Structures are given as C-alpha cells and as structure tokens.
Structure 1
Amino acid sequence: MAMTLSTSISSTSKTLIFKPLFSPNSIRLSCNRRSISRRNLRTRAKLLRDDEKTVVVEDSFPVEKGLAGGEAGKVDAGSSGDGTPGALERWAIKIEHSINIALTDSVIKILDTLYHDRHYARFYVLETIARVPYFAFISVLHLYESCGWWRRADYLKVHFAESWNELHHLLIMEELGGNSLWFDRFLAQHIAIFYYFMIVVMYAISPRMAYHFSECVESHAFATYDKFLLLQGDELKKLPAPEVAVKYYMNEDLYMFDEFQTDREPYTRRPKIENLYDVFVNIRDDEAEHCKTMKACQTHGNLRSPHDSKDDPGCVLPQADCEGIVDCIKKSLKPTT
C-alpha cells in the first residue's frame, strides 16, 4: 500500500507561500486506497523556510522480503512459494483493510460534525485516542510474554516510545485549552476506553490488521495537522510555543524521541521551536513517523529499535515469537527440541 502525503512551503522574499501537492479539499487518507500493494509507504512532509534547510520526512521503513503476517522468507498454505501473498492472504488483507477503512471513516465523520471549527478541542480528542493503540499492543505483548509465547524487546521499546510521544502531544493540546469543556473530555475518554478493548481483541486476532488500523488513524492525524498549518499558518507564527512543547522538543535527552522514529537514524532529527507554528509542524511530522512505523509493523518481525546495534547485541535472549493468539497457542503445543 502506497501513500504520499506531501506539503511544500516555498519562500519568496519575506513572504511564505504554501503550495500543497493537493488542495485541502482533496486530502484523503492513504488507507482509503483499497489497494493491497506490499510496497513501502512513502510519506513526504517538506518544510522550506527562509535561511533554513529542508526538513524531509520520507521513505518508510524498509520491508524485509517475506510475507506480511509471517516471518521473512517463511511460506505457508496461503502464500505462494516465492514469498509473495497468496490468494487466501490477499483476500484476508482486503477484508481487513475494508473493515479498518469503514471504522476510520465513521470516526472521522463524527469528529467533522462535532469539531468543524473547534481545532484545539478536536486535536485533544485525537491525541487522547492516539495513545490507546500503543497501550493495547503492549498489554497483549506482555500477556504473550507471561505465557512464554513471545519475547521481542524491540516491539515493547518502540511502542512505549510512541505512547510517550503521543502523551506530549496530548499535554500540548491541554495547555492550549483543548480539554476545557466537560463534553470534550467525556467524549474523548469514553471513545478511548472502547477503542482500547477493540484494539486488544483485534491485535490478539490479527496484529497486521491492528497495525493497519493504527496506520489509518495516524494518516488522518497527519492530514488534519497539515491542513491546519495551511489554513492557520500565519496566525500560528504570531503565537508563543506552549511550555510543555519547548521542554519536550528542546530537551537535551531525546532518546525516547528518537526511539519511535524507526525509519531514521538516532540524532538525525532535532526540532526547532520558536513559535506555535513550529510546534504544529513537529507534531505533524511526528504523525508521519508513526505512520511509517505502523506500516513497517504490518510485515511481521520487521520492526527494530533504531538504537539497536548489530555490532553490540547486548543481552541476547531467546527470541520466542508468534503472531496472534491462535499462532501463539499452536506454537505452544508443539514439542520443543
């Protein structure tokens, strides 16, 4: 599945002119494309500013050759012998994507109706919901680990780092007043509770489906912030950055910030915060990084921590692995050799 989200800002003299690749009215989620292509997701977010170098977010995590939903190079009954998805798996992926698209579109319509012109309240709801999948992933993985079915430290590290990043997005929206109304807090919290249990069940049945659903949510978040920057950019540049944003993005210790960006080397992205516009640019680019990580996770076993070094493996543990509750139970019943 391919996705291109691109925004270019070019400067002429002292005036910044926004030139989106497509108009705000034509912004669409990449996951709305019902193609089941296994190509890498490509997310592009470009920012050109006076006397500053280009900030580019592109080229998703390289997918290892193998099956989506199986270890690299592993072949099962639903796949062809060359490592490409077979007819049965392609059918399953199509069904999963259709369900995810329908669910995502339903939530978007509700948010569009309730928060048409209340941006910060909408962002507060989005960020409250955005943390939930990572909580669900970690909960299920801890259960598998407790049962002796699974042990992949990279997944726990990266998903926790993703939740840590989304937490600070939420704190920023709270400082901006997005949670000032009781109704907004009530709606966001109750959606989050329902969303958590839904993702737990989905992830237990099909991690690939759960990761794709999260990719759809992150794609919508990227498009939402990107559109907001295009429409409100001039006003945002006149406003100061929230204190929590300055502390998070300008912190000397950005280990957790680097950890969730699995498509890039650590220390290669260092945000600059001068005003509220810069804050939303970085939040938008964070969502692009989340989207690429979720895309990478759809190929089972493809995720790795950006801080892990092949030359220094550290504490090596047996890599028990499984995909979904059915696969875990099947593997637990097999005699060990």
Structure 2
Amino acid sequence: MIRLIVSFFVFIVDVVYGNRSYARFYVLETIARVPYFSYLSVLHLYETLGFWRRADLLKVHFAETWNELHHLLIMESLGGNRYWGDRFLAQHVAVAYYWVVVLLYVLSPMYAYYLMELIENHAYHTYDDYLNAHAAALKTQPAPQVAIEYYRDGDLYMFEEVQTTTGGTFRHPQVDNLYDVFLNIREDECAHVKTMEVLQEPDARQSFYSPHTVFTAAKALPIDAEL
C-alpha cells in the first residue's frame, strides 16, 4: 500500500511533467510537504484530547514544513507555478494526500514516516539527477533572494531544526548561485530522510529530541544526564 501511494506520486511528478523541470519541482514540493501538515494535525489533536504531548516532535515537524515551504517559494520564484493547470493539479492532489496521511498516521505512525522516507528519498535523487545534468548552466545563474534569506542571511533557527543528525554542528551552506540553491535543497531532502528513519524506531516518541535540544544539552552536560 505504501509503495503504491509513492508510485502514484512518482508517476505524477516524473511521467506527467517530463522535462518541465521547474513545474515538476513545484508540484513535487507542493505535494511532498503535505505529510508534515498531517503529522502536526494529528499531534495537536492528541494534545488537545490530553493523550500525550511531545514538544520536540511538534517543533521538528513544523521546521520541516517551513523548510518545504521555502523550497516551494524558490520554485515559484523560478516560474514553476506559472500555469493554472499545474497549480490545480498540485493543490488538489495535496488535499487528498493530506487526508490519506492523517488516517495513516493515526493508524500507524511508523508507516506514515516510512511513506515520507520513500517520498523524500525520491526527491533527493530527483534533485541529484538534475544537478548532475545541469551543473554548468546552474552555476551561471543567480540564487533567488528567498533562498539567500533562508539559507544564509535570515534567522537560521528553523533551518537548523531540520538537521536531525548534526554531529554537534549545524550546516550553514553557501548560496552563491542557483547550483548552490539546488544543492542545498538536495541536502535538505537527505536530512528529511534521516529524520524519517530515526522516527521509525520503536521508542521514537519517547527518545526523539530536536536538533537544538540535543545541541544545547551537549554543550551543557552529557545528554544522558539532562534528558
């Protein structure tokens, strides 16, 4: 079932859009960010009903939506949403996809995270292929301002929060041209894959901490002592 959903998603993005790269990426980012909305909706419902509360999960999933939003804004700045048909398709698939993931997350968070791992892994390879095919041309084009603000000049807290496996430091990349932008987006997708893998662990709801929680604790004292 999970692979069937992913295959449908891949069909829309890869087969329907072919070589229309920016429109393809626009659709990819419109749809791919939806599961994070679904996770947040269910988590807020559980909190409202008094079932359980995990602030770190809420924080990281919101940071992931913020990250995907900026991917989408970048694609819009490049003209990916120029045509009404592309917007119509992406937005309507996204609405249906939202409810599918809500139901899946209620029934099995592990499978909901596995679904997103597959989607983000596909996104990583999609951007990797694009970078390999168009590196020279991308390096001659300027980075959109929205990318510069998100990756370099703005408040980097939300960007850092998607970097689950930081190794004690946060990634602060270059944004000198359009190649750098797509490289950063590709690495973001890799970070999402790693997060989804961690969240599939049996005790993830109890053991998962956000990057800043881990980083702050590591600076203060051994993490086991504080957490």
Query: If the length of structure 1 is used for normalisation, what is the TM-score?
Result: 0.62
What is residue 50 of structure 2 aligned with on the other side?
Answer: 148
Could you say which residue in structure 2 is the equivalent of 1:119?
Answer: 21
The letter for the 2-side match of 1:129 is: I
In 1: Cα distance, 2:208 partner to 2:39 partner: 13
Is contact 2:60-2:162 (8 Å) kept? yes
SS at match of 2:6: helix
Structure 1 residue aligned with 2:158 = 256
Q: Secondary structure at the match of 1:307?
A: helix
Q: For residue 225 of structure 2, what is the aligned residue in structure 1?
A: none
| Amino acid paired to 1:257 | F
Structure 2, unpaired ranges of 5+: 222-227
| 1:133 paired residue number | 35
Cα displacement (A) at 1:102: 1.9
Q: What is the CA distance between 1:266 and its match in structure 2?
A: 6.3
Q: Establish whether residue 304 from structure 1 lines up as the match of residue 209 from structure 2.
A: yes
The residue aligned with 1:197 is: 99
CA distance in 2, matches of 1:267, 1:202: 34
Question: 1:242 & 1:280 partners in 2: Cα distance?
Answer: 11
CA distance in 1, matches of 2:137, 2:8: 31
CA distance in 2, matches of 1:169, 1:255: 16
Pair 1:172 & 2:77 matched: no
**Residues 144 and 150 in structure 1, CA contact (< 8 A), matched pair in contact too:** yes
Moved more, 102-111 or 137-146: 102-111
Contact 1:259 1:266 in 2 (8 A): no
1:254-300: CA deviation from partner (whole Å, max 9, x where unpaired) = 11111111111565311101110000000000000011001111113
Give the Cα–Cα distance (whole angstroms) in 1 for the partners of residues 19 and 44 of structure 2: 40
Q: Deviations over 1:29-63 (max 9, x none)?
A: xxxxxxxxxxxxxxxxxxxxxxxxxxxxxxxxxxx
Letter in 1 for 2:211: P
Which one is further off, 222-231 or 256-265? Answer: 256-265
Residue 10 of structure 2 aligns with an amino acid whose one-letter code is I
1:161 aligns with 2:63: yes
Evaluate the alpha carbon distance shift between residue 266 and residue 142 of structure 1 in structure 2; reply closer, same or farther with a 3 A threshold. farther
1:101 maps to: 3
TM-score, length of structure 2 as denominator length:
0.91
Q: Secondary structure at the match of 2:18?
A: coil
Match of 1:247 among 149, 166, 180: 149
Q: Counterpart of 2:136? A: 234
Q: Distance in 2 between matches of 1:196 and 1:266?
A: 34
Aligned to 2:212, what secondary structure does the other structure show?
A: coil
Q: Which amino acid aligns with 2:49?
A: C
Post-superposition shift, 1:252?
4.6
What secondary structure, in the 3-state scheme, does the structure 1 residue paired with 2:211 have? coil
CA-based RMSD of the aligned residues comes to 1.3
Look up the match of 1:285. Answer: 187
Question: In structure 2, how many angstroms separate the alpha carbons of the residues matched to 1:122 and 1:145?
Answer: 36
Q: What is the count of residue pairs matched by the alignment?
A: 214
Question: Which blocks of at least 5 consecutive residues in structure 1 are unaligned?
Answer: 1-98, 313-337
Q: Structure 1 268/111 Cα, relative in aligned 2: closer, same or farther at 3 Å?
A: closer
Pick the structure with more strand per residue. 1
Opposite residue 156 of structure 2, the aligned amino acid is L
Q: In structure 1, what is the equivalent of residue 224 of structure 2?
A: none
